[in-house]
Chain A
Amino acid sequence: MSDVQFCLLLAALLFSIGVFGLLTRRNAIAILLSIELMANAVNINLVAFSRVHGGATGQVFALFAIALTVAEVAVGLALVILMARQRRTIDVGEATDLRG
């Protein structure tokens, strides 16, 4: 198994853990963490393919993605704080206002 395949396998594993967390955890912060895992799995992929193709494009792209993810987390955390203030809980199982 080459380095690249190892990297891809690691990324797939991380992504799957992220999806699992996203679908099963009720805590809003845990869900944010799961999303972070999935984003970083993608970043690993970018860096790995960058190495295969021998260019800096993928790495630069990964850097941008990290920066954007930070912004996304900032928004996500703001939402969690708002939820905590309004509902006194951050359990997403309680937030089912859209039920038909």
Chain B
Amino acid sequence: MNVHSLALAIPVLPVAAAALIGLVRPIGRRGGLAAAISIAAAAASLCCALALLPHTSAPFVLKLPWLQVGGRTLAEVGLSFSGISGPMLVMVGTVALMVQIYSVGYLSDEGSGQRGRYFTWQSLFLFSMQGFVLSPNLLQLFCFYELIGLCSFLLIGYYYERPTAGRAALKAFWITKLGDVGFLIGLLVAWVQYQSFDLATIARTLERGPLESGAWLLPALLFCGVASKSAQFPLHVWLPDAMEGPTPVSALLHAATMVAAGVYLLVSTSFLFVASPVVSSVVLYVGAFTAVFAAIQGAVQHDIKRVLAYSTCSQLGLMVAAIGAGSVMAGYFHLMTHAFFKALLFLAAGSAIHAVHTNDLRLMGGLGRGMRWTGIFFAVGVLALAGIPPLSGFFSKELILASLEEQPVALVLVLATTFMTPYYMGRAFLLAFRGEARSDSARHPHESGWSMRGPMLVLALLAIVSGNFLWSFGRMIRQPAELHFSPIAYLGVALAIAGLGLAWVLHGKKQPAIDALPPAVLQAARSSLVDQLYVVGWKHVLFVLAAIVSFFDRYIVDGVMNLVAWAGERAGSALRRTQTGFAQDYVLALFLGLLALVAWGVWGT
């Protein structure tokens, strides 16, 4: 197979699987068969991505014209393979395959038809994500961005009989849409400013010289879309609620790949951000603030998945901050390593939840004794996320810290995050896997089967070694890749060890304290202030705006219509008096008319 058909196969195989499972009912009803088809498609898609990886030095674009208006092609649909998309394809393919294999074990209690539905959405999601990564222009990126949002909605609402799941799915959908409106307006701006949606064309236009004015507009609008998808403050509120979905979904979408779509959008449009220093610094500070804000929230949660969700939010903040500081390399590489260890953490947490049947850390404890493998996997994830060398997190965190050396404020925020991350992850690990069991179900947990342990093992190995891919990764995206081992890097490692130590001191006992922070901090961090701000915004801003629009619609727009109708009715009732219904009156009118015509004919002309 040549490289073109390999690239085409990457998104086409999963969508074919989704169509097969979703549309052919006998297959959709058999959960096992659906899973087999979905996994086979994901595996084949991953093989294609791996086979393409050596070809990143020869990027290519396949295009078909789309939206032809008056002989002019407004947009193209196609595939663009380059050093930027290559590693992402492999990462998404790997995590998706692992999650799908894991799901077979995780969802074994579910009904057959339910699993058919689940694997349809999983395959559709893989298609959307790979299509997104391969998109050559903004319009296609937007289409796949929305498809990803749709798949996220469907999978969060997988347990649709639970009202909380339905609400969480809707919330995720609306909040991401809120940001995507920015992306949509950005498309218009791109057309007005550059007369093209094509990323390569826009980049060439920018190379020839900066725009006279308004260069900040497009990146700012794109960042709205990024912030909603990648859960940046203040659009992060959907991510913790999205944990209502099945845990493998959280691992795939809300830790490793979907939320990474926003960061990937930043990476692939980074040339726009370079052209606008103001927007770049907004990106930097939003990212750094999100990192530390979400880390504080993560430290006070009782739900193990919400701890991981806030951790994801915080790590995405780090990536966004690094790209805002101008280091695409650091942000992108952290996206890669983070995907592996965060998916691992979620799958390990899912394994624990599967055994204990609760997400609540207060009802866990001591799981490490019965679930040795899961405990080890979770610990590997914690150490990688903490950035302890030589695990993968160390490499990418080092790059991020190095990229922020000239930004003191952001650096302080990020250093605070590197201290808090190991603390709350250590807390979650100690509360779940160490100490004494705090509930009956936690006393005799059963280790998960190999269909769940296998994927975790692969991800654990990747979480350990993927940092070593740094140099080949740097060659692929054509950025200098080097570790500086500057004082800040040592400081980062020291803070990480201190954070883990703090977690051990506060939560390492046999009967550990669940919450060790001062009550005022706990209350402030749990108060869901941002959610309340949204409610206030709706009540006092959106409703007022809606009332004004409603007044205009009812009394101005409808008013003109009503006036026309009223005038017509009045004129009608005035004129009806001429209709006597008396036949001879009509005849008289006829003759008078005839006379008038004759008179006009004789004297008029």
Chain A contact residues, CB within 8 Å of chain B: 19, 22-24, 92-93, 95-100
Q: Are B591 and A99 in contact (CB under 8 A)?
A: no
Q: Are A100 and B582 in contact (CB under 8 A)?
A: no
- Measured CB to CB, the closest approach of chain B to A4, in angstroms, equals 21
Identify B584's interface contact among A92, A97, A99, A100, CB under 8 A.
A92
Q: Are B583 and A99 in contact (CB under 8 A)?
A: no
Chain B 528-563 against A: per-residue CB contact (8 Å), 1 yes, 0 no? 000000000000000000000000000000000000
B565 at the interface (CB under 8 A from A): no
Query: Bound complex: CA of A95 vs CA of B582, how far in Å?
Result: 7
Chain B 569-605 against A: per-residue CB contact (8 Å), 1 yes, 0 no? 0000001111111111001100100000000000000
Contacts of B591 in A (CB 8 A): 19, 23
On whether A100 and B576 interact (CB within 8 A), knowing A19-B591, A23-B588, the answer reads: yes
Q: Are B581 and A96 in contact (CB under 8 A)?
A: yes
Query: Bound complex: CA of A95 vs CA of B580, how far in Å?
Result: 11
Q: Are A100 and B578 in contact (CB under 8 A)?
A: yes
Q: Are B584 and A98 in contact (CB under 8 A)?
A: no
Q: Are B576 and A93 in contact (CB under 8 A)?
A: no
Q: Are B584 and A22 in contact (CB under 8 A)?
A: yes
Give 5 A-B contacts (CB < 8 Å), ordered by A residue: A23-B588, A96-B580, A97-B581, A98-B581, A100-B580
**Top 10 closest A-B pairs, CB basis?**
A99-B581, A100-B579, A100-B576, A96-B581, A98-B581, A96-B582, A92-B583, A23-B584, A99-B580, A23-B588
Identify A100's interface contact among B581, B587, B588, CB under 8 A.
B581
Known pairs A92-B584, A100-B579 / 7 extra A-B pairs, C-beta < 8 Å: A19-B591, A92-B583, A93-B582, A95-B581, A97-B581, A98-B579, A99-B579
Query: Bound complex: CA of A24 vs CA of B588, how far in Å?
Result: 10
Residue of B with least CB distance to A98: B581
- Measured CB to CB, the closest approach of chain A to B493, in angstroms, equals 96
Contacts of A19 in B (CB 8 A): 591
For chain B, the count of residues having a C-beta within 8 Å of the partner chain is: 13
Q: Are B583 and A100 in contact (CB under 8 A)?
A: no
Contacts of B579 in A (CB 8 A): 98-100
Query: Bound complex: CA of A12 vs CA of B214, how far in Å?
Result: 87
- Measured CB to CB, the closest approach of chain B to A54, in angstroms, equals 28
- Measured CB to CB, the closest approach of chain A to B591, in angstroms, equals 6
Chain B contact residues, CB within 8 Å of chain A: 575-584, 587-588, 591
- Measured CB to CB, the closest approach of chain A to B132, in angstroms, equals 68
- Measured CB to CB, the closest approach of chain A to B421, in angstroms, equals 85
Identify B587's interface contact among A23, A93, A96, A98, CB under 8 A.
A23
Contacts of A23 in B (CB 8 A): 584, 587-588, 591
Contacts of B576 in A (CB 8 A): 100
Contacts of B575 in A (CB 8 A): 100
Contacts of A97 in B (CB 8 A): 581
Query: Bound complex: CA of A83 vs CA of B295, how far in Å?
Result: 95
Q: Are B580 and A22 in contact (CB under 8 A)?
A: no
Query: Bound complex: CA of A33 vs CA of B594, how far in Å?
Result: 21
Contacts of A22 in B (CB 8 A): 584, 587
- Measured CB to CB, the closest approach of chain B to A25, in angstroms, equals 9
Residue of A with least CB distance to B577: A100
Query: Bound complex: CA of A22 vs CA of B579, how far in Å?
Result: 19
Contacts of A95 in B (CB 8 A): 581, 583
- Measured CB to CB, the closest approach of chain A to B263, in angstroms, equals 74
Contacts of B583 in A (CB 8 A): 92, 95
Query: Bound complex: CA of A26 vs CA of B579, how far in Å?
Result: 18
Residue of A with least CB distance to B578: A100
- Measured CB to CB, the closest approach of chain B to A45, in angstroms, equals 16
Query: Bound complex: CA of A22 vs CA of B575, how far in Å?
Result: 25
Query: Bound complex: CA of A93 vs CA of B588, how far in Å?
Result: 14
Query: Bound complex: CA of A96 vs CA of B587, how far in Å?
Result: 14
Contacts of B578 in A (CB 8 A): 100
Residue of A with least CB distance to B584: A23
Contacts of B588 in A (CB 8 A): 23
Residue of A with least CB distance to B579: A100
Residue of B with least CB distance to A25: B584
Contacts of A92 in B (CB 8 A): 582-584
**Of A19, A22, A24, A100, most B-chain CB atoms within 10 Å:** A100
Query: Bound complex: CA of A19 vs CA of B588, how far in Å?
Result: 9
Contacts of B577 in A (CB 8 A): 100
Residue of B with least CB distance to A94: B582
Residue of B with least CB distance to A26: B584
Query: Bound complex: CA of A98 vs CA of B580, how far in Å?
Result: 7
Residue of A with least CB distance to B586: A98
Query: Bound complex: CA of A100 vs CA of B575, how far in Å?
Result: 9
- Measured CB to CB, the closest approach of chain A to B598, in angstroms, equals 13
Contacts of B584 in A (CB 8 A): 22-24, 92
Contacts of A96 in B (CB 8 A): 580-582
**Of B576, B580, B582, most A-chain CB atoms within 10 Å:** B582
Contacts of B582 in A (CB 8 A): 92-93, 96, 99
Residue of B with least CB distance to A93: B582
Query: Bound complex: CA of A22 vs CA of B584, how far in Å?
Result: 7
Contacts of B587 in A (CB 8 A): 22-23
Residue of A with least CB distance to B582: A96
- Measured CB to CB, the closest approach of chain B to A84, in angstroms, equals 16
Query: Bound complex: CA of A82 vs CA of B243, how far in Å?
Result: 83
- Measured CB to CB, the closest approach of chain B to A28, in angstroms, equals 9
- Measured CB to CB, the closest approach of chain B to A94, in angstroms, equals 10
Query: Bound complex: CA of A98 vs CA of B576, how far in Å?
Result: 10
- Measured CB to CB, the closest approach of chain A to B569, in angstroms, equals 14
Query: Bound complex: CA of A99 vs CA of B476, how far in Å?
Result: 89
